[in-house]
C-alpha cells in the first residue's frame, strides 16, 4: 500500500471551498486534473470521473462515494478492472484554520498488485495533478466575486 498526500492553505471559508469542490458541473471551468465528475454526491453513489494528469493520458473510471461529511470530507474508492489489482481510496478534506482560512488536504491510498509497477508514474504525474488541482481550487476560492460561482 502506498499513499500520495498534498495540502494547501486557502484564504476562504470551509463552506466556500466545499461549494466549489462539490459543484461538479463547474469542474471543466477550473479543474486541470479532475476534468469531469458526473453523478450524485451521497454515500454509495457511483460517479463517472475523468482525470487528466499533467503530461499524462486521460483516464475515465467509476468510483463509489465512500464518505460525504459537509463541509469537511468527500471520499471515493475506485478500482481498475478487478478488486485487488489496482484500488484507490481518494480523499478530499477541508480543515478549518479560522473563519476564512482552511487547509485543503488532497490524498489517495493505493493498493493492489499493480501499485509497485505504476508507483513511479503515480508519484510524479498523479502528484502533479493533485498539486495543480489544489492550486486551481485556491485560485478560484480566493478569486474576486466575479469568479465565484
Which residues are paired to 104 by β-bridges?
Answer: 8, 94
- Could you check whether the bond before residue 46 is cis, i.e. omega within 30 degrees of 0? no
Q: Tell me: the pLDDT tens digits for 62-91?
A: 999 999 999 999 999 998 877 788 999 999
3-state secondary structure 111-140: ECCCHHHHHHHHHHHHHHHHHHHHHHHHHH
The pLDDT of residue 5 is 97
Q: Tell me: the pLDDT tens digits for 124-136?
A: 899 999 999 999 9
Domains of the chain are: 2-22+66-147 (3.30.530.20)
Burial profile 24-42: b = 16 or more Cβ within 10 angstroms, e = fewer: beebeebbbbbebbebebe
The sheet that has 87-98: what strands, in order across it? 2-10, 101-111, 87-98, 73-79, 64-69
Residue numbers of the chain with a pLDDT score lower than 50 = 148-149
Amino acid at each position: 500500500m502506498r499513499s500520495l498526500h498534498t495540502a494547501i492553505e486557502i484564504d476562504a471559508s470551509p463552506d466556500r471551498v466545499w461549494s466549489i469542490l462539490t459543484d461538479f458541473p463547474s469542474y471543466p471551468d477550473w479543474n486541470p486534473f479532475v476534468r469531469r465528475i458526473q453523478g450524485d454526491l451521497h454515500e454509495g453513489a457511483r460517479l463517472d470521473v475523468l482525470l487528466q494528469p499533467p503530461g499524462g493520458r486521460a483516464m475515465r473510471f467509476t468510483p463509489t462515494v465512500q464518505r460525504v461529511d459537509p463541509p469537511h470530507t468527500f471520499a471515493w474508492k475506485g478500482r481498475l478492472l478487478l478488486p485487488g489489482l489496482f484500488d484507490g481510496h481518494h480523499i478530499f478534506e477541508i480543515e478549518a484554520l479560522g473563519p476564512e482560512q482552511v487547509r485543503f488536504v488532497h490524498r489517495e491510498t493505493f493498493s493492489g498488485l499493480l501499485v509497485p509497477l505504476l508507483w513511479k508514474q503515480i508519484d510524479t504525474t498523479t502528484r502533479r495533478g493533485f498539486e495543480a488541482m489544489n492550486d486551481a481550487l485556491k485560485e478560484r476560492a480566493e478569486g474576486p466575486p466575479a469568479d465565484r460561482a
